Amino acid sequence: MAKGDPGVTTRGRRAAPRSKPKATASTGDPELVQLLTPEGERIESAFGPDGTEYRVGFTDEEYRGLYRDLVLVRKLDAEATALQRQGELGLWASLLGQEAAQVGSGRALRPQDMAFPTYREHGVLYCRGIDPIMPLGLFRGVDQGGWDPNEFKFNMYTIVIGAQTLHATGYAMGVAMDGKTGGDEGEAVIAYFGDGATSQGDVNESFVWASVFNAPLVFFCQNNQYAISQPLERQTRVPLYRRAGGFGFPGVRVDGNDVLASYAVTRHALDNARHGQGPSLIEAYTYRMGAHTTSDDPTRYRIASEVESWQAKDPIARMRAFLTKQQIADESFFAEVDAQARAESVDLRERVLAMPDPEPLTLFDHVYPNGSPELDRQREQFGTYLASFEGSAH
């Protein structure tokens, strides 16, 4: 696990800029914070739109750890997609292409920080130390998730688009009311959502509430360019991070395929929040390399050349190029990571196949904490229906 120097900043975000925001050497894009180019070149530091300077200072071991995380979460995700294709899962929402945004932000969380995910945050879940089998039970339909949100500081997956930003805002307001902000030990909250979710009322209401109550909350938007088939231009006419200004808090766009910049920007925003400086918005600019879910066919709405152009920005390839160039890792290291990834994915598959089917009547168990007469009636009816098959040739 990477515990390196947080994104070191040269000044607080509310002060006047020391220097004008600079374009990074490689992209020439003043709107994108980048510390690792697609070719694997390190950029010493990069400036956000408010003049904040971002940099990281990882040890070699920590750099290798980040690479390992990226490879492992991609491999486990590919295994889950394969399991769905073989009929072992009902559905899967792949994170392919978004590994750096998730590992960078996930590793930037401190142990006391609370995360509110969507249905795609398998990489963040991994970084929180949750067994990667957990979301597979959910997508296999044999349980409701399985992990304890309080133990791992990682809430349940939320499929209702944007709803978790409201939960996160309320939770973050509670953190502040409980006096748990201020100082390095303060708590911060992070809410994950997509580009499409920014059009939801829930997300915009969360922005208002978090802002006016100065909630210790980081809004982490993975802009993967699509909401199912709807491209980004159907959601916004301005870069998403700039929306934050209208709500009264800072916004920054980071290269979401750059694990180092994703880490630096998230660590900085979380630390501001935990110190009582309120919310911020991070737009992690990335690309959904696969289908929206296994129920989707992206060839119907996007062209192959677009996907290929993003392949050249692959988050794992650039990290590997960097580690090789800097002689931080060699071929034997990469082979060892691949072997670990293979072993973990085989283990995942075996455990999924061994998952017991739940008793059908347990369907009614967690609808209400104390049940209800109507639920009792439905349970009984369903029980009678199930019993009607007993002894039949069915």
Ligand X SMILES: Cc1ncc(C[n+]2csc(CCOP(=O)(O)OP(=O)(O)O)c2C)c(N)n1
Where in the sequence numbering do the catalytic residues fall?
Answer: 288, 292, 301
3-state SS record for 200-269? CHHHHHHHHHHHHCCCCEEEEEEECCEECCEEHHHCCCCCHHHHHHHHCCCEEEEECCCHHHHHHHHHHH
Cβ proximity to ligand X, 26 vs 199, nearer residue: 199
268 binds ligand X (CB under 6 A): no
Neighbours of 183 (CB within 10 A): 9
190 binds ligand X (CB under 6 A): no
Phi first, then psi, for residue 370 (nearest 5°) are -115, 20
Please state the closest distance from residue 300 (CB atom) to ligand X, in A. 15
Q: Which stretch in 68-76, 106-114, 153-161, 331-339 sits in contact with ligand X by CB under 6 A? A: 153-161
Please state the closest distance from residue 384 (CB atom) to Mg ion, in A. 44
Interactions with ligand X, residue window 158-177 (CB under 6 A)? 159-161
Q: For residue 300, give the DSSP letter.
A: G
Report what 159 binds from ligand X, Mg ion, none; CB cut-off 5-8 Å by kind. ligand X
Binding site for Mg ion (CB under 5 A): 194-196, 224, 227
Distance of CA 143 to CAs 134, 146, 357, 362, Å?
9, 7, 9, 10
- The tokens of 179 are what? 């006096």
Contact 89, 139 (CB under 8 A): yes
Q: In the set 7, 106, 117, 196, which binds ligand X (CB under 6 A)?
A: 196
Please state the closest distance from residue 286 (CB atom) to ligand X, in A. 10
Please state the closest distance from residue 211 (CB atom) to Mg ion, in A. 23
Cβ proximity to Mg ion, 24 vs 200, nearer residue: 200
Q: For residue 332, give the DSSP letter.
A: H
Neighbours of 354 (CB within 10 A): 7
292 binds ligand X (CB under 6 A): yes
The residues that touch ligand X, with contacts defined as CB under 6 A, are: 120, 159-161, 193-197, 224, 226-228, 288, 292
